[in-house]
Amino acid sequence: MRKYGSDQLEDKRAYYAQQRIKPTGKFTEMIVRSYYIIWALAHTNPDKECFTSQSNEHKIKDLVYQDLGDPVASVVADARNELVKMYYVRYVKDDEDNRWKIRLEKPLDFLQPGEDLAYRTKYEKAVKHLR
C-alpha cells in the first residue's frame, strides 16, 4: 500500500478537517470511528498495538456504521487503509507468534476541539466485547 507524500497529506488533512465542520458524506466519520476503535483496543498495550484479528473490518463494521446505514466491511477496510496511508496507524508483524498487529503511530490531527475525548470515552466502553 502506497502512503501519501507530504503535499497529499496536507491536502487530505485539510479536507478531513473541513469534513468535520461541514460533512458532505460519511467516509470521514468512518475513518475517525475506525481510528478510535483501534485506539480503544490498543491504547492499554505498552506498544500501542492490537492484533489485526481484533480489529478486522468484519468485527468492527457494526461499531463503525452505528447510525450510518447498513454495514459494509470493504468500506471499513478502506477507512483503515486511509489511516495507514496517512501514517496514523501501521501494520507490524509480531516477533513471537508471527501474527499481524496494527499499531497507533500518532493521534488524529484534523478533529474539532473536544472530539478526541468524546470518541475515546465512547469507544473505550464499546470495544470490550472485541478484546
pLDDT tens-digit series, residues 56-113: 999 999 999 999 999 999 999 999 999 999 999 999 998 888 999 999 999 999 999 9
Q: What is the pLDDT of residue 120?
A: 95
Closest Cα to residue 36, out of 126, 129, 130?
126
d(CA 51, CA 53): 5
- Phi/psi for 102 (5° steps) reads -120, 130
pTM: 0.94
3-state secondary structure of 51: strand
d(CA 122, CA 130): 14
Closest Cα to residue 14, out of 22, 98, 33?
22
pLDDT band at 125 (very low <50, low <70, confident <90, very high): confident
Q: What is the pLDDT of residue 95?
A: 86
